[in-house]
Structure formats: structure tokens, C-alpha cells
């Protein structure tokens, strides 16, 4: 029976792995740290799988565990460095999809500009305060609803809506300012 529970858990988690990994990358400094966080969090989730009551999505429940695990780890490291040093390393591939919509650019100039757009958007996203950065990532990249994001981050829904709006506005302003300074990127007409 325990083997069946483990197999079922692994099956449910397997299809969510890319999204969970992206979330870990949004929280952590680098890929190795994100992979460690994901592994530790999945072990914790498996050990406490009976606590999932079906309120909200399974993905949201797992993100909550990952976030809590991340915060727990950061609390001990916070004496040495600030939580605000957390960045979205590795998210450029996710953010690049916001521009392309899955469409390939055949000519090298378009590909170079696309790469510049992704890097530019990532830099702009990096510049957002963490409280906005995570909400924008979860709402716009992961396409989660406000209620689920509120549950994941332990915030009221109104706060999530406000942070999403402010975060997108800040991201748009920063991105447009950078576009105006970069002719190749501006020529392709990309926007967040």
C-alpha cells in the first residue's frame, strides 16, 4: 500500500516538475540551490502528503511547501546576507517565451534581438523588489489566479492584486525605459 502511495505521489509531481523547478529558481540564487530546495521540499511534501486536503491546486500546495522551506533556510542564512539578494537566476528561458509565444525567428538578426529582449526583461524583473517579483512570476509566467498566489505566499488576495498591479507597472516602466535605449530590441516591438 505504501508503494502505491509513493507511485501516485511521484506521478502527480512528475508532471509539475518544470513549473516547480521554475518556482525554485525564482526563489534561489542558482540552479544547484534551486535543485536542493526542490528535492528537500518534495521529501517534506511526501512525508506530509496527508495534510493536502484538496483546497486549491496540488501545485499551489507544493509551492507553499517550497516557499516555507526556502524561508526556513534563509532565516539561518539571513544573519550573513539579506533575503533581498535573492534573484531569478535561470528564469530567462521562461521569460523568453513571453516574447516569442513559441514562434521561431528564422533570421539571425531577429534571434539576436529576441535574446536581447529576454535578457532585458530578466534584468528589469531582477530590479523589482522581491514582493512584486514573485507575484508577477506566479501570476504572469505561471498563470496562477490571485487566490492561489495568495495561498502560496501567505498573503491576503487584495495584497496580491495590489502587488501584481504595481509590479507589472514597475516592470513595464523599467522595460520601456530600457527599450528606448536599445534600438535592436525596440525595433522588434517587444513588451512585457
pLDDT computed for residue 1 by the predictor: 57
Q: Which of 4-8, 41-45, 75-79 is predicted least confidently?
A: 75-79
Q: Which three cell numbers stand for residue 26?
A: 525564482
Print burial letters for 155-176: b (CB count within 10 Å at least 16), e (below 16).
Answer: beeebbbebbebbbebbeebbe
Distance CA 21, CA 41 (A): 11
* Contact (CB, 8 A) for 29 and 86: yes
Res. 91: pLDDT tops 70: no
Q: Which three cell numbers stand for residue 63?
A: 509551492
Q: Which three cell numbers stand for residue 102?
A: 513559441
Mean pLDDT of 12-19: 92
- Do the domains 2-85 and 92-188 sit in the same CATH topology, yes or no? no
**How much helix, strand and coil, in percent to the nearest 5, is found in the chain?**
75, 0, 25
Q: Where along the chain do its domains lie?
A: 2-85, 92-188
For residue 4, with 0-12 CB atoms within 10 Å meaning exposed, 13-18 middle and 19 or more buried, which class applies?
exposed
Distance CA 185, CA 99 (A): 11
- Name the fold adopted by 2-85: Rna Polymerase Sigma Factor; Chain: A (1.10.1740)
Query: pLDDT band for position 181 (50/70/90)?
Result: confident
For residue 100, with 0-12 CB atoms within 10 Å meaning exposed, 13-18 middle and 19 or more buried, which class applies?
middle
- Does this model's pTM top 0.75? no
Mean pLDDT of 150-175: 90
pLDDT computed for residue 39 by the predictor: 92
3-class SS letters over 34-76: HHHHHHHHHHHHHHCHHHCCCCCCHHHHHHHHHHHHHHHHHHH
pLDDT computed for residue 37 by the predictor: 92
Distance CA 86, CA 5 (A): 35
Res. 188: pLDDT tops 60: no
Asked if CATH classification 3.40.50.1580 holds for the domain at 92-188, the reply, yes or no, is no
Query: pLDDT band for position 109 (50/70/90)?
Result: low
Query: pLDDT band for position 161 (50/70/90)?
Result: very high
pLDDT computed for residue 21 by the predictor: 93
Amino acid at each position: 500500500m505504501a508503494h502505491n502511495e509513493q507511485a501516485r505521489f511521484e506521478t502527480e509531481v512528475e508532471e509539475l516538475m518544470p513549473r516547480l523547478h521554475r518556482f525554485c529558481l525564482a526563489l534561489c540564487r542558482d540552479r544547484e540551490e534551486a535543485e536542493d530546495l526542490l528535492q528537500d521540499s518534495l521529501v517534506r511534501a511526501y512525508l506530509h502528503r496527508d495534510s493536502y486536503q484538496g483546497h486549491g491546486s496540488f501545485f499551489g500546495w507544493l509551492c507553499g511547501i517550497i516557499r516555507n522551506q526556502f524561508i526556513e533556510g534563509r532565516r539561518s542564512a539571513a544573519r550573513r546576507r539579506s533575503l533581498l539578494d535573492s534573484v531569478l537566476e535561470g528564469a530567462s528561458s521562461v521569460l523568453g517565451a513571453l516574447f516569442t509565444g513559441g514562434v521561431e525567428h528564422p533570421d539571425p538578426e531577429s534571434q539576436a534581438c529576441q535574446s536581447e529582449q529576454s535578457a532585458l526583461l530578466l534584468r528589469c524583473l531582477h530590479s523589482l523588489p522581491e514582493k512584486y517579483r514573485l507575484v508577477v512570476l506566479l501570476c504572469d509566467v505561471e498563470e496562477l489566479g490571485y487566490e492561489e498566489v495568495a495561498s502560496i505566499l501567505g498573503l491576503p488576495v487584495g495584497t496580491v492584486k495590489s502587488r501584481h498591479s504595481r509590479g507589472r507597472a514597475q516592470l513595464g516602466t523599467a522595460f520601456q525605459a530600457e527599450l528606448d535605449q536599445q534600438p535592436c530590441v525596440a525595433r522588434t516591438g517587444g513588451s512585457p
